[in-house]
């Protein structure tokens, strides 16, 4: 009945049923058939953050990451405290941070000043993500020996209504909230699809050093016409961990086999360690069958279950005027 109240002009509610979308309207747009050559990507795009990009709370959770052996070793040696070193606090993340970071995208077009022909699309930087210039003018890619920056070099071309961009020459950095790295030999291929006020970004990250297969993530953004969601603050290093300031030569890390968090996900959720440590197999649904017999359902969840926090302890009984009489 509540549905009828909210949508008095809508069709009558169908009989409820499993896998029944009821009065839903399903529209399928096959964007592989281009209608126009180019799409305007300019605007402020607000991140919706509603696609599961494998966020996790355990410091060692590499499930779903197609890490190579070297990539796994690199991930397990990483100590997030290293980012508290003065010289590292303001270093930029890799361009892949566009998929895993918290902010939206501010995209502008960069025309030639005389001809007004599009030269590049520019994705503005964040406090910790470098600017991305997607060159559309066909300029050559730099030599592989050219200096690498945090943003790297990106060239783009239209594929029907979609913009495909290839990003290289970016520095080593993390690709999943401090739980895995890509090297300075990695390539990130973006695909931008605009559907009205929705922008979907697909990223295919390939790395001959730390990945055994491409790592693919997607994220959707909604046009923010008010342009209210974009942070324009600069990073300033502060003293985060005093012992790093007292000993600037110290670089926090874990030696092989000594990461203290390696077994945390296994102890908490009973997930086999071989799955926690990632690898290409862990990306695919059929991997569940492989570990099925090694998984035992953990006891009922008591921590991080998604429910409301436990009720606070009852306050002490009031005394004085107005207090209830003792029983």
Partner 1 sequence: MPYSANAELTEHWDVYKRPNGEEWLTITTEIVDPLYLREPRLVALPFKKEPNGAKWDPTPCSATW
Binding mask 250-269 for partner 1 (x = CB under 8 A): --------------------
Is 21 an interacting residue with respect to partner 1 (CB under 8 A)? Answer: yes
Is 22 an interacting residue with respect to partner 1 (CB under 8 A)? Answer: yes
107 closest CA partner among 230, 239, 242, 263 = 230
Sort 123 into a burial class: Cβ within 10 Å, 0-12 / 13-18 / 19+.
buried
Is 208 an interacting residue with respect to partner 1 (CB under 8 A)? Answer: no
Q: How far is the CB of 120 from partner 1 (least distance, A)?
A: 22
- Residue 53 or 263: the one with the smaller Cβ distance to partner 1 is 53
Is 202 an interacting residue with respect to partner 1 (CB under 8 A)? Answer: yes
Q: How far is the CB of 164 from partner 1 (least distance, A)?
A: 8
Which residue reads 């970071």 in tokens? 101
Tokens of 280: 């290409």
Is 301 an interacting residue with respect to partner 1 (CB under 8 A)? Answer: no
Is 139 an interacting residue with respect to partner 1 (CB under 8 A)? Answer: no
Q: How far is CA 243 from CA 25, 178, 252, 254, in A?
A: 59, 21, 11, 17
73 closest CA partner among 223, 279, 246 = 279
Binding mask 216-245 for partner 1 (x = CB under 8 A): xxxxx-x-----------------------
Instruction: Report how far residue 199's alpha carbon sits from residue 222's, in angstroms, rounded to the nearest whole number.
Output: 6
User: Kindly report the CA angle at 136 between 134 and 137, in degrees rounded to 5?
Assistant: 130
Q: Which of 44, 154, 168, 193 binds partner 1 (CB under 8 A)?
A: 193
CB neighbours of residue 256 within 10 Å: 8
- Please report, as ranges, the residues that interact with partner 1 according to CB under 8 A: 2-3, 6-7, 10, 13-14, 16, 21-32, 48, 50-51, 159, 162, 164, 189, 191, 193, 195, 198, 200, 202, 204, 216-220, 222, 286, 292, 295, 297
């Amino acid at each position: 009945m509540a549905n009828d109240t909210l949508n008095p002009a809508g069709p009558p509610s169908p009989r409820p049923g499993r896998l029944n979308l009821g009065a839903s309207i399903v529209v399928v747009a096959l964007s592989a058939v281009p209608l126009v050559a180019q799409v305007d990507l300019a605007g402020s795009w607000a991140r919706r953050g509603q696609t599961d990009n494998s966020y996790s709370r355990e410091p060692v959770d590499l499930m779903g990451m197609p890490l190579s052996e070297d990539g796994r070793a690199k991930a397990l040696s990483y100590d997030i405290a290293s980012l508290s070193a003065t010289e590292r606090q303001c270093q930029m993340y890799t361009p892949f941070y566009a998929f895993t970071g918290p902010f939206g995208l501010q995209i502008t077009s960069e025309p030639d000043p005389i001809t007004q022909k599009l030269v590049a699309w520019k994705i503005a930087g964040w406090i910790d993500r470098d600017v991305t210039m997607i060159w559309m003018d066909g300029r050559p890619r730099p030599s592989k020996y050219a200096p690498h920056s945090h943003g790297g070099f990106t060239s783009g071309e239209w594929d029907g209504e979609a913009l495909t961009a290839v990003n290289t020459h970016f520095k080593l950095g993390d690709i999943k909230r401090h739980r895995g790295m890509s090297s300075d030999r990695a390539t990130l291929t973006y695909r931008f699809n605009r559907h009205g006020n929705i922008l979907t970004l697909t990223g295919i990250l390939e790395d001959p050093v730390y990945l055994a297969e491409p790592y693919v993530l997607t994220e959707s953004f909604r046009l923010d016409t008010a342009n209210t969601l974009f942070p324009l603050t600069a990073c300033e290093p502060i003293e985060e961990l005093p012992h790093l300031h007292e000993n600037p030569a110290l670089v926090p890390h874990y030696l092989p086999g000594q990461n203290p968090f390696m077994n945390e996900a296994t102890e908490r959720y009973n997930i086999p360690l071989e799955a926690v440590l990632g690898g290409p197999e862990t990306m695919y649904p059929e991997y569940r069958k492989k570990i099925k017999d090694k998984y035992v359902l953990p006891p009922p969840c008591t921590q991080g279950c998604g429910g409301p926090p436990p009720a606070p302890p009852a306050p002490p009984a009031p005394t004085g005027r107005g207090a209830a009489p003792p029983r």
